[in-house]
Structure 1
Amino acid sequence: MAAPLEVLLSSDSGSQLWNCTVFDPHSGSSLLSYRGGNSGARSLTVLGGEYLLSAQLGKNFINVWELQRKVGQHLAQLSPPRSVCLLCFLTDQVCTGKLQSVLSRHYQDVTCLKFTDDSSHFVSGGKDNLALVWSLSSVVQLDVSHAPEPRHIMSRHSLPITDLHCGLMGAQARVATASLDQTVKVWELSSGELLLSILFDVEIMSVTFDPAEYFVFCGGSDGNIFQVSLCSQVRNMNDHKLKTDVGKTTRVMKSSCLHRNMVTCLSVSMDGTLLLSGSHDETVRLWDIQSKQSIRCLTHKGPVTNAIITPAPANMFLPDSRPAVPLPRFSRHLHASESDGGEPGEVCVRLRLHTQVSASVFGDGENTKVRIAELEEEVQTLKKMNKDLYDFSSQMLTKPT
């Protein structure tokens, strides 16, 4: 049987036999199971298509698996008494394992953390009712005398934020935040402006967009899942006071087998036809979005902590393959000693094709100057290509039929 294009990853807090299970979302069959502890909520992530990582539930270490191995290892021991409650990685930029920055801008616990699709920014939400937009370039800096500050502070929620989702388009993306104040708010990431506020009659515990961003899906504390059209309701994207009534503007997933407890995880397939939901009622459900019917139920051993649909990594079903680059042990200290490897001021970045480039940010050596010149020339070439493509498209669109 051919490997699926997408897989379903799920975990719960009660299983004693495995940590995470991989399912085929179309057949519901179990494909792989990874053993070792239990994953905390919103902490399960695939790194670079080669590793699976999760924060150990209630502990101060991170579990890591090679995608082909079923037994986990402890990747990092963090300084007690801190415990890892969230885990979110850039797609391909973990290389040295050195601690780059420590952010302490939230006033209470951080509840959710998401990167944009281009990894240029990330958004954090917390129990202090705030959602903060961070620029990665300002966070990973070498000037340790200045603490990084968020690019935007989104402060329109009146109760703790429970979940957030970043759409597509990188720094131009829209961000949805869910809160115990019974609202879901949609923001413009580039400006931090509020675009839409949707009022419900229940607390909202999870939120996600479909890939086309026609709809926002919201998981309630009562087990209901709401579907809100962004196209029909958002007539004026600059109307910051726009609020909608749940009875008139949402369509609820219909089934005789609705979740019996809060919906804490939501994810949509790449083609926008399937919705995945995970709940504290110890089930994961797949829904057909068009008919709004539950088509599959996967029973777990405890409250579901993670449930996501993700493209199937190429190495997941190749038992003889191994990661191209080993994943290093994470440092516990912000200022690593020189004996930890690497020169002061050196930044190492892993590219998508598993090539590594080390660049010294101090000094102005000839190699650095040459590389800068090459990059500037490449930028000019890409700008010309973009202009040519735009001119060609304009001609085709305005050409008389």
Structure 2
Amino acid sequence: MAAPVEVMLSTDSASPLWNCSVFDLDTGSSLLSYRGGTSAARTLCLLRGDFLLSAPPGKNFINVWEVQRKDQLQQKILVPGVVTCLSASPDGLFLAAGVSEAVYLWEVSSGKLLSVLSRHYQDVTCLQFTDDGSHFVSGAKDNLVLVWGLSSVIQLDLSPAPEPRHVLSRHSLPITDLQCGMMGAQGRIATASLDQTVKLWELSSGELLLSVLFDVEIMAVTFDPCEYFLFCGGSDGNIFQVSLCSQSRDRQFQSDSEGNQVFKGHRNMVTCLSVSMDGSLLLSGSHDETVRLWDIQSKQSVRCLSHKGPVTNAVIMAAPANMFIPDSRPSVPLPRFSRHLMVSEGDGSETGEVCVRPGLHAQDDEESYLQKAERLNALMNAMTDKSVFGDGENSKVRVAELEEEVQTLKKVNKDLFEFSSQLLTKPS
């Protein structure tokens, strides 16, 4: 039998035999199970396609399995406190965890703790990277959603402390879930809250695009791949499908023929939602101890998987290439993760390491090369417009000067890149 393209992963809070189960999306048959404790809600994630991670409730460590070695718990990552949520960047370079009211960010390749972000005032409840890995978003019980630029967080000089790019503060009760859409930094964010609303935001500007009011508390939210619909899991067990094609900005949910529909079948609150890659199937987990697979077009439950306790995580994901190859091993083993923040840039020099990371420019009043290039490009466009409507001779001279300056900036940028490459490839 050929290996499945997509699989369903689920965890519950009371399973005596295994922690995480893997099911075939097409047949519902059990494929794998990972043993060792239980997993807290919103802590199950895949790292580099090689490792499966989750955090047990009320514990200060993260469980790690190699995806093809299901019978043995491989490693435990000790953290400074109880992990409330967990997320890995799509490229597998960074791991973020919510620990009480702070967000901890590690560099996976070295295990170094890069930053501790303490801008929330209460426990962090959900955390997710954008699909391009340029940003991550955190939501907490303090009603706030913070958008963080990764480049500003991992700079070597952490004084002053990094600031979020946006503070989304239109919810009036704790955040229960969030979902980042496609298109990276140009995408959208959906947030759910106990205030019975789901809000849609533009990531680049932080602007509120849509607010939908429900009759019940919303515990989970997700997009379909095309982002035509939002799927919202309610505390009453219903799942609400919200059309994003409507023009109204603030509205109350009402079932109609234009895309707003209700999935009925769960008997208790819906805690997690996930949609298949082709947008035809919806996976939901609930406190009624079941995971259901729904056909989105017909709104019918096509499969129901029973668990031993309230479901804490349920997700559809592309099956890692080596999940069903017993002899395969991770390409790079996980290092020991540090529980203490890097003190200074000099720490790496003691071991002969050279660390080059993106960061903010050294002085606030000095433009970066990218900002200069963008400003010069805008000036060139303005000069070109003037040359069309008049003042042509002077404009052409100015354009030539600007083009020469742009070439100089490009050369400086190339020299910087070559210098960094030489540092990285220099034998120790």
Taking structure 1 as the reference length, what is the TM-score of the superposition?
0.83
1:346 to partner: Cα distance: 1.2
2:6 alignment counterpart = 6
| 2:260 aligned partner | 250
Q: How many residues align?
A: 348
What is the identity percentage for the equivalent residue pairs of Structure 1 and Structure 2? 69
Give 4+ residue runs of structure 1 displaced > 4 Å after superposition.
336-345, 366-369, 371-374
Checking the alignment, whether the CA contact within 8 Å between 1:75 and 1:329 is kept in structure 2 is no
**Match for 2:271 among 264, 269, 276?**
264
Match runs of 1:132-143 below 5 Å: 132-143=146-157
Question: Which whole-Å deviations, capped at 9, do the CAs of 1:326-376 have from their partners, x for residues lacking one?
Answer: 111211110269599854661489xxxxxxxxxxxxxx9x985426799xx
Distance in 1, matches of 2:235 and 2:115, equals: 35
1:399 paired residue number: none
Instruction: Check whether the contact 1:75–1:330 (CA below 8 A) recurs between aligned residues.
Output: no
Distance 1:264 1:319 in 2: 32
CA distance in 2, matches of 1:275, 1:116: 21
Partner of 2:364: none
Q: Secondary structure at the match of 1:137?
A: helix
Cα distance in 1 for residues equivalent to 2:354 and 2:170: 39
- Name which of 415, 418, 425 aligns with 1:370: 418
**Higher RCO, Cα 8 Å, sep 6+:** 1
Question: Residue 39 of structure 2 aligns with which residue?
Answer: 39
Contact preservation (8 Å) 1:201, 1:246: no
Instruction: Report which stretch shifted further, 166-175 or 84-93.
Output: 84-93
Amino acid at match of 1:21: S
Whole-Å separation in 1 of the counterparts to 2:219 and 2:342:
37
Change (3 A) 1:142 1:372: closer
1:228 to 242, 245, 254: 242
Spell out, residue by residue over 1:192-215, the C-alpha distance to the aligned partner (whole angstroms, 9 max, x if none). Answer: 000000010000000000000010
**Paired residue secondary structure (1:196):** strand
Q: In structure 2, which of residues 311, 325, 334 is the aligned counterpart of residue 327 of structure 1?
A: 334
1:333/1:2 CA distance change after superposition, 3 Å: same
CA distance in 2, matches of 1:268, 1:369: 41
RMSD: 2.3
Question: Structure 2 vs 1, CA of residues 346 and 180 (structure 1 numbering), >3 Å: closer, same or farther?
Answer: same
2:299 to 292, 296, 299: 292
* C-alpha contact 1:61 1:74 (8 A) present in aligned 2: no
Q: 1:132-166 deviations in whole A, cap 9, x for unaligned?
A: 10000011111122111100011111111100000
CA distance in 1, matches of 2:324, 2:88: 22
Unpaired runs of 5+ in structure 1? 350-363, 375-401
Q: Secondary structure at the match of 2:117?
A: coil
**Residue 74 of structure 1: how far off its partner (Å):** 3.5
Q: Which runs of 5+ in 2 are unaligned?
A: 94-107, 359-411, 423-428
Q: Which has the larger radius of gyration?
A: 2
Residue in 1 that maps onto 2:129: 115
Indicate the residue corresponding to 1:383 in structure 2. Answer: none
User: Secondary structure of 1:101's match?
Assistant: strand
Distance 1:371 1:326 in 2: 29
Q: Which amino acid aligns with 1:147?
A: A
Is the contact between residue 348 and residue 355 of structure 2 (CA under 8 Å) also seen in structure 1? no
Residues 342, 252 of structure 1: CA spacing in aligned structure 2 closer, same or farther, 3 A cutoff?
Answer: farther
| Residue 425 of structure 2: aligned partner | none
Structure 1 residues 343 and 124, CA, compared in 2 at 3 Å: closer, same or farther?
Answer: farther
Q: Per-residue displacement from partner, 1:285-324 (whole Å, max 9, x unpaired)? A: 0000000000000111111111000000001011111011
Change in 2 beyond 3 A, CA 1:371/1:315: farther
**Contact 1:199/1:243 (8 A) holds in 2:** yes
Determine helix, strand or coil for the equivalent of 1:31: strand
